[in-house]
Amino acid sequence: MSGGAPKGRSSAARGRRIAEKARGPRRESTRQPVADDPHADIGVEARLVAGILLNAALEKRTGLDEALSQSPARDLPPQDRAFARAVAMAALRRLGEIDQILERRLQKAPPLAVMTILRVALAQTLVLETPAFAAVSTAVKLAERDAKTRPYKNLVNAVLRGVGRDGPGLTTAESNLPDWLAQRWKATYGEAALIGLALATREEPATDLTAKPGVDPAELAASVEGEALPGGTVRTGKRGDVASWPGFEAGDWWVQDAAAAVPARLLAVKAGETALDLCAAPGGKTLQLAAAGAEVVALDRSETRLKRLRQNFERMKLKVEVVAVPAEDWEDDRTFDAVLLDAPCTATGTYRRNPEVLRATRPADVAKLADVQHRLLDVAAEKVKPGGRLVYCVCSLEREEGETQVIAFLRRNPAFRTVAAVPAEVGAPDEALTPEGWLRILPSQWAERGGLDGFFAAKLERIAD
């Protein structure tokens, strides 16, 4: 495949490492672990499940996780199930490129079941670097086992052997983005930025940790074989059950993408201040506020999602007042020194970790969620004390959910003004700063460090009476 990853980020090598690390006690992966030997034939059943997971993810955003919890995925041995997930995720990240390769070799599109077999096989050979003979063999076996795909087994064999013989040919990273999103992002950020955003689709992200105050990020980085990023986030390529990593049981850190840690830093709460996290679950930003010494109220409409927040606070030995109610229905007269609104959004900025969002998001979702964000911002404003601060953020790359929301909010609420962000103080890339003083973080930024999730964040202050 062409286009190349940024310097120091070879996708093929990364895919190979994913496969090689899966079983070993030192590098076992919780996200995409695979077989101990990437050259081993895991079996037809695991490939079948990989296809089921892939199609479930393409149907809806939560489809992959739901399919993992059901038969036949849940019936697989753990390492086979992990392998199936790894293949499905690889196919999702490179779906456009894989389809470009197939289009050149197919006179017309075969049934979806046949396309799935081909996609799964190419994800193995081109991303995870499974030897072609193993991928072709199991793909043909998959075609043979079903009456609907059996007539296409020779086609499957010919296409995959042809790719193995001739190579994949030219592909473009931009093809991994749905056309409507690519057009929007090109119009918003420019063609050069679009290429960077497209390249970021290829990469499996590292794991980022936020250290509890008092824990030295450099020492934490050394303990998890990682590095300290600007702002204090620790990034590690270490894989496996994070609960077994040094400092987990002691509550020294929690998992949180580097970009996701920025909004709470931007809010800059101090010990003894009151803080409200309006859409708190799963709680990473709430932890930051409480760890800084604030008296925190964590509000979320989902009791199920708040369960994880409570578990994290117990491990971190921190206290927080938890309220399970929609923000618009919360009847409480209190106001706060600091309010954080991480609003529900399309989450298009999280595609490095959740590539399914690129396929599951629809244009209509942007407008629908923008309306929700509009209402929540007005709710949040009522909870800010005079002289207090409000940080609005979304993990979306869509302007309607970020910049446009804040522009409209400031027009509606003249009692608020922007407080310009200083990227270096909050661990954001310098190029994320907008002319207005807000932060627009793109997944293509910090490419030399491995990128980060896409976020928009704006700090606003209520003018004192």
Tokens of 231: 């702002």
**Residue type for position 145:** R
Consult the annotation and say whether 387 binds a ligand. no
User: What letter represents residue 115's amino acid?
Assistant: M
Is position 132 annotated in a ligand binding site? Answer: no
Contact in structure between 256 and 235 (CB atoms under 8 Å) = no
Instruction: Give the DSSP per-residue string, 216-284.
Output: -HHHHHHHTTEEEPTTS-EEE---S-GGGSTTTTTT-EEE--TTTTHHHHHH---TT-EEEETT-TT-H
Tell me if 414 sits within 8 A of 420, measured CB to CB.
no
Name the residue among 15, 38, 19 with its Cα closest to residue 28: 19
- CA distances, 279 to each of 19, 223, 300, 338 (Å): 36, 32, 5, 14
C-alpha span between 439 and 430 (Å, rounded) = 9
Is residue 281 annotated as involved in ligand binding? yes
The verdict on whether residue 283 carries a ligand-binding annotation is yes
Residue 395 annotated as catalytic: yes
Helix (H) or strand (E) holding 286: helix 284-291
Question: Do the annotations mark residue 284 as ligand-binding?
Answer: yes
Whether the Cβ atoms of residue 74 and residue 68 lie closer than 8 Å to each other: yes
Nearest to 176 by CA among 352, 8, 362, 367: 352
Any known ligand binding at 19?
Answer: no
Tell me whether residue 404 is exposed, middle or buried, using C-beta atoms within 10 angstroms of its C-beta: 0 to 12, 13 to 18, 19 or more. Answer: middle
Residues 6+ away with beta carbon under 8 Å from 5: 11, 199, 202, 203
| Closest to 350 in 3D by CA, of 201, 235, 241 | 201
* 453 known member of a binding site: no
Residue type, 424: A
- Among 181, 347, 395, 442, the active-site one is 395
292 is in an annotated binding site: no
Q: Which strands form 234-236's sheet, in the order they lie side by side?
A: 226-228, 234-236, 207-211, 253-255
Cβ atoms of residues 401 and 345 within 8 Å: yes
Q: Is 151 annotated as a binding residue?
A: no
Mark the binding-site residues for S-adenosyl-L-methionine, compressed into ranges: 279-285, 300, 342
- Residues that are catalytic: 395
Mark the binding-site residues, compressed into ranges: 279-285, 300, 342
